[in-house]
Amino acid sequence: MAQPLPFPTDQRLLDVYSLTVSDVAETVGPAVGMVTTDGKGHGSGVVLSQDGLVVTNSHVVGTHKDVHLALPDGQRLAGRVLGADPDTDLAILKVDGGTLPIATLGDSNELKRGHIAIAIGNPLGFESTVTAGVISALGRSLRSPSGRPIEDVIQTDAALNPGNSGGALVSSLGEVVGISTAMIAGAQGICFAVASNTVKLVLSEVLQHGGVRRAYLGVAADTVNLPRRVADAAHVGTQTAAVLHTIVAGGPAARAGVREGDVLLSLDGRPVEGPGPLLRMLTADAIGRRVRLQLLRQGRLLELEVVLTQRPSGPEPR
């Protein structure tokens, strides 16, 4: 009769953890390089294809068009920025070189709190640095360099420092599930990464259109509490809405008669609980569409129709 296996000791669990982290570092590490723009500033970048597609943060490249990527194997590659999206703090680069080591993007929707998170990057100029922790939280919202909120952000306690920006956040399966983007100065163990599914969206848009297209309403808003009687009358079933404090002159909302102080309750029947949910509705497939806005104006419910346009370049109104 077979003897039951003894309960794993702490030491054996630590050995498995160590092997997992080291295996991921050896597998993904070669595809994480140092990105420089003018020989001064630097960040990290992750190679996604053997023909030289690289993802990094938009704040790493700024307004530069030419970049350089230094890989751990000694390759020094020149490249260019194919497209940058400050709204998600992501940029897609194309570097020129031979056969490159690559990393695989995973499905960030499969993540759970407590999963192992391994960060690989170049903090403070120290190449190929590996730190490890866990996924601390999911679905965070983080303000991007453009002022627009980045949705579906991953929070981790894997240590990040300046220079990690644009590096890889990797699962125990060796898949890149996030691109490191920010840390909170003075805090311990609170760092953030843009989810890999957002990276896939930006990559597709940049390759097809040279940038990320979004629909445009031409407003700036804050969140406001919604009285229960108003929510019931409007059939939105939410406790908050978006109060519009800026209407861009000549924009779609202005042309439709939307005014400052209007409270936006819903868009095409979908409740608008605040500026974040509103921005998530303004996707590329809404460009050119006629949509119905349900508004509260001086105690009266009204509806207006607006034709959404493509968002112009430049920062969002605030």
How far apart (Å, rounded) are the C-alpha atoms in residues 226 and 277?
15
227 close to 239: Cβ distance less than 8 angstroms: no
Question: Alpha helices of 193-295 — where are they, by DSSP H?
Answer: 196-209, 228-234, 252-256, 275-281
Task: Establish whether 59 is a catalytic residue.
Answer: yes
Q: Which of 85, 89, 152, 157 is catalytic?
A: 89
Beta pairing partners, 120: 130, 168
Which of the residues 58, 59, 108, 144 is marked catalytic? 59
Residue 24, Ramachandran bin (φ over 0: left; ψ between -120 and 50: alpha; else beta): alpha
Yes or no: say if 169 and 100 are a contact pair by the CB < 8 Å rule.
no
DSSP one-letter string for 162-207: TT-TT-EEE-TTS-EEEEEEEE-TT-SS-EEEEEHHHHHHHHHHHH
Q: How far apart are CA 29 and CA 26, in angstroms?
A: 6
Answer whether 248's CB lies under 8 Å from 124's CB: no
Looking up tokens 């409740």 gives 271
Active site residue 165: yes
Tell me the C-alpha distance between 120 and 130, whole Å.
Answer: 5
Apex 152 CA angle, 190 and 56, nearest 5: 75
Q: Which of 29, 31, 106, 94 is nearest to 68 (CA)?
A: 94
Q: Which of 44, 58, 165, 196 is flagged as catalytic?
A: 165
Q: How many CB atoms lie within 10 A of CB 77?
A: 20
59, 144, 212, 213 from 209: Cα distances, Å: 21, 21, 7, 8
Q: Which residues are catalytic?
A: 59, 89, 165
